[in-house]
């Protein structure tokens, strides 16, 4: 009876793999030994621990969102997973949130404690139940918040999904990808385990190439320069796979006569804590950036093009770290918008003649309110800009959000759900899709490849750099 509805087959069912966790324990990694990075313990009553954590971590916002849902089902058609699989009722956002709501009803809310069956309240019995929940909250939702903005009751389903992820992360019942990236962030201070040497060497050769390209030996990529106007923080992907974006930014900052620096430590503004639901990791990573800015006496922080990095550093990080914001902070796209407005850089839109469309990152548009600045910039640097429909806060996820790019076991379902994004992209007729998020670059690239679309992904820095006259 207890298990009845929990056994509804989820769209994906994967075993709990703990190879990386076991290795981390054997190697006695600092983060594991110190208890910051949690690992799975099969000898513990994890179901009981899950319930205890749920009760302990309950906040007013989460309780209200859990209690208020009326099961109207209006969220269904705002979800790209459901739209791509309309015959699968487990794709409806409320069903996903209900998997944790039912535990809330059984242990926190009123009616479910007395008559559980009446409100379908439920108790997870064993690790198998928790593993099934893992597949739902990590594998079938990109936490894009589209359903949240479409809920008549104001239920923040993405918040609930993150809450459930956080409880499972605490118990080590997570996909391998979540553990691996969290481990790298805890251990190395960045999510791609970039070493200090790699960081320094990459910046050095990027600088040398830029100096050669601009025929100007004074062009610099400063590191740890104190007292600058701003501290620039980046995504490790820029060091590892896409150093051009650092080069573009450095060139533009130089032309704008900017006083800026990268930090030696605390340069990674990405934050897997947002995806794993681990507030302590979130606070640590964001705290590294805030500390770097304070150490270097920067007047503000500028965040490179990254959706979840921007949201985590600009908004959530302070709340996770429990510190008040002291410095102003902005996305580099806002900085570019200002340069163009003030005439600090000159651009020629004929240098970007291809039809370009813009993909709003969920974390940038729906969770951070930046929708017009990128359009103003693109309007100045592109000859043929086309909106995709829907757009801004109603745009569909690139399908790589919520950490899904690090979780290969959920890729087939993600790409199936990407049908909606592919149709949206195709309808624009654009040859370039521009986004201001490194995660979206990879997500969109997957969609384009899988659905054989004739377009390429670029970022705003790419187009501004190309458009500079």
| Subset of residues 327 to 386 that bind other proteins, contact rule: CB under 8 A | 328-329, 365-372, 375, 379, 384-386
The answer to the question of residue 466 lying near other proteins (CB under 8 A) is no
DSSP category for residue 385: E
DSSP category for residue 232: E
Cα–Cα distance for residue pair 461/244, rounded to 1 Å: 9
Q: What part of residues 63-102 is at the interface with other proteins (CB under 8 A)?
A: 63-65, 67-71, 73-78, 82, 87, 89-92, 94-95, 98
Cα-based angle 326, 243, 344 (whole degrees, multiple of 5): 60
Alpha-carbon dihedral sign for residues 311, 312, 316, 322: negative
The answer to the question of residue 259 lying near other proteins (CB under 8 A) is no
Burial letters 443-459, b for 16+ CB under 10 A, else e: bbebbbebeebebebbb
The answer to the question of residue 216 lying near other proteins (CB under 8 A) is no
Per the document, the length of the chain is: 469
Q: What part of residues 266-325 is at the interface with other proteins (CB under 8 A)?
A: 314-315, 318-319, 322-325
Q: Please, what is the minimum distance in Å from the beta carbon of residue 65 to other proteins?
A: 6
Q: What part of residues 122-151 is at the interface with other proteins (CB under 8 A)?
A: 148-150
The answer to the question of residue 53 lying near other proteins (CB under 8 A) is no
Candidates 22, 27, 45, 118; binder of other proteins (CB under 8 A) is: 118
* Count of residues that interact with other proteins, criterion CB under 8 A: 73
The answer to whether residues 299 and 230 touch, using CB atoms and an 8 Å cutoff, is yes
The answer to the question of residue 45 lying near other proteins (CB under 8 A) is no
Contact string (CB under 8 A) for other proteins, positions 157-196, x = contact: ----------------------------------------
The answer to whether residues 37 and 186 touch, using CB atoms and an 8 Å cutoff, is yes
Cα–Cα distance for residue pair 111/105, rounded to 1 Å: 7
The answer to whether residues 378 and 466 touch, using CB atoms and an 8 Å cutoff, is no
CB closer to other proteins out of 17 and 393: 393
Question: E strands along 273-425, which residues?
Answer: 300-303, 329-331, 355-359, 384-386
Q: Please, what is the minimum distance in Å from the beta carbon of residue 335 to other proteins?
A: 15
CB closer to other proteins out of 184 and 373: 373
Cα–Cα distance for residue pair 79/12, rounded to 1 Å: 17
Q: Please, what is the minimum distance in Å from the beta carbon of residue 84 to other proteins?
A: 14
Partners of 331 in beta bridges: 303
The answer to the question of residue 156 lying near other proteins (CB under 8 A) is yes
Candidates 111, 216, 259, 350; binder of other proteins (CB under 8 A) is: 111
Q: Please, what is the minimum distance in Å from the beta carbon of residue 285 to other proteins?
A: 16
Cα-based angle 61, 67, 68 (whole degrees, multiple of 5): 90
Mark the segment that binds other proteins (CB under 8 A) among 389-397, 401-409, 442-450, 451-459. Answer: 389-397
Q: Please, what is the minimum distance in Å from the beta carbon of residue 119 to other proteins?
A: 5
The answer to whether residues 228 and 298 touch, using CB atoms and an 8 Å cutoff, is yes
């Amino acid at each position: 009876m207890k298990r009845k509805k929990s056994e509804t087959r989820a769209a994906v069912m994967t075993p709990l793999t703990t190879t990386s966790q076991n290795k981390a324990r054997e190697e006695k990694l600092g983060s594991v030994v110190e208890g910051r990075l949690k690992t799975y313990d099969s000898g513990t009553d994890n179901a009981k621990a899950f319930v205890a954590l749920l009760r302990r971590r309950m906040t007013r916002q989460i309780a209200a969102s859990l209690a208020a849902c009326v099961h109207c089902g209006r969220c269904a058609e705002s979800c790209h997973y459901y739209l791509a699989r309309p015959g699968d009722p487990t794709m409806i956002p409320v069903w996903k949130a209900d998997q944790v709501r039912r535990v809330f009803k059984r242990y926190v809310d009123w009616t479910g404690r007395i008559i559980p069956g009446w409100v379908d309240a439920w108790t997870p019995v064993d690790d198998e139940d928790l593993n099934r929940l893992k597949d739902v909250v990590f594998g079938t939702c990109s936490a894009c918040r589209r359903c949240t903005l479409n809920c008549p009751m104001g239920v923040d389903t993405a918040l609930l999904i993150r809450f459930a992820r956080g409880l499972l992360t605490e118990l080590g019942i997570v996909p391998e990808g979540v553990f691996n990236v969290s481990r790298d962030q805890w251990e190395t201070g960045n999510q791609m385990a970039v070493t200090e040497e790699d960081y320094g060497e990459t910046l050095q050769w990027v600088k040398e190439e830029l100096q050669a390209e601009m025929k100007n030996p004074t062009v610099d990529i400063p590191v740890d320069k104190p007292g600058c106007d701003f501290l620039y923080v980046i995504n490790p992907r820029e060091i590892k796979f896409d150093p051009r974006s650092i080069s573009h930014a450095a060139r533009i900052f130089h032309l704008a006569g900017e006083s800026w620096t990268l930090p030696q430590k605390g340069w990674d503004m990405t934050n897997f804590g947002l995806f794993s639901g681990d507030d302590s990791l979130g606070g640590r990573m964001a705290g590294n950036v805030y500390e770097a800015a304070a150490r270097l006496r920067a007047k503000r922080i500028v965040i490179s093009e990254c959706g979840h990095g921007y949201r985590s550093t600009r908004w959530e990080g302070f709340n996770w770290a429990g510190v008040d914001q002291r410095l102003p902070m902005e996305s580099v796209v806002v900085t570019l918008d200002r340069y163009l407005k003030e005439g600090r850089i000159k651009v020629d839109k004929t240098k970007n003649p291809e039809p370009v469309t813009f993909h709003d990152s969920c974390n940038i548009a729906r969770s951070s309110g930046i929708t017009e600045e990128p359009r103003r910039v693109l309007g100045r640097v592109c000859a043929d800009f086309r909106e995709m429909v829907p757009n801004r806060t109603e745009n569909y996820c690139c399908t790589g959000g919520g950490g899904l790019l690090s979780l290969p076991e959920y890729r087939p379902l993600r790409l199936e759900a990407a049908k909606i994004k592919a149709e949206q992209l195709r309808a624009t007729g654009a040859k370039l899709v521009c986004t201001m998020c490194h995660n979206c670059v990879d997500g969109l690239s997957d969609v384009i490849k899988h659905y054989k679309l004739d377009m390429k992904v670029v970022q705003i820095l790419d187009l501004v750099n190309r458009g500079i006259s």
